[in-house]
Structure 1
Amino acid sequence: MTVPGLQVERTQLSWRRTLVSLTAVALLLARLAAVHLTPGRAAWAIAAVGLVWAAAAGLVRRRMRSVVTPIGRELPALITLILLYCAMGTLLLMS
């Protein structure tokens, strides 16, 4: 038995999980570049990772917007994701 409103919510959640995974991989790659490469090469590698992540995040955002959702549900989730990204990035770069 499927409830019509749940399919939209599952799709939104799957795109959010995809964005979280992309962010985690991008942060790990940036940390790896910062630790194991020379400063000049590390800067280029981090810039490349950032550009790829921005393109992927833009694609995910566009896909998420194509799914119609009830108004007011996205803002709290977006704020939570932003805070989690900041915390994850800080922990990865500080360790």
Structure 2
Amino acid sequence: MTGHQAPTRDPGLQPERTRLAWRRTTLAFTVVAVLAGRQAVQFGVTAPGLMGLALTALAWLGFLGVAHLRIQQLSTPRPAPLTPRTALAAFACVAGLAVFAVAILP
């Protein structure tokens, strides 16, 4: 009886497309964070606006970290699936950006 081996998976270009999607999402997140910063200083600097701006920058840095980690994971020959922890961190950054934008609005 011979041992049965699972066929080798050929991921094709799927990891590359996913890596590019993470980069596009990071770029869009950066644009939104910059526009939020512009909104915060456009009508004068207020305490809630500064707090919202600081938290927006923190959310942006968090998302950059999550995206960088995921892009590195996708560069391996057999990338691991997205973990729930990474997905939750990305969601928290995006949701946080939306909440912090409310503090920036005049």
Instruction: List, as ranges, runs of 4+ consecutive aligned residues in structure 1 with deviation greater than 2 Å.
Output: 36-45
Question: Of 1, 26, 46, which aligns to 1:19?
Answer: 26
Report percent identity of matched pairs: 37
In structure 1, how many angstroms separate the alpha carbons of the residues matched to 2:21 and 2:52? Answer: 28
- Spell out, residue by residue over 1:9-63, the C-alpha distance to the aligned partner (whole angstroms, 9 max, x if none): 1111000001000000000001001113434443322211100100111111111
Q: SS of 2:13's equivalent?
A: helix
RMSD value, Cα: 2.1
Amino acid at match of 2:33: A
Deviation (angstroms), 1:66: 1.0
Q: Which has the larger radius of gyration?
A: 2
Contact 1:9/1:69 (<8 A) preserved: no
Partner of 1:7: 14
Larger % of helix: which? 1
In structure 2, how many angstroms separate the alpha carbons of the residues matched to 1:59 and 1:42? Answer: 25
Partner of 1:32: 39
In structure 2, stretches of 5+ residues that fail to align are 1-9, 78-106
In structure 1, how many angstroms separate the alpha carbons of the residues matched to 2:45 and 2:20? Answer: 38
Partner of 2:72: 65
In structure 1, stretches of 5+ residues that fail to align are 71-95
Q: How many residues align?
A: 68
Q: Does 1:50 align with 2:67?
A: no
Q: SS of 1:38's equivalent?
A: coil
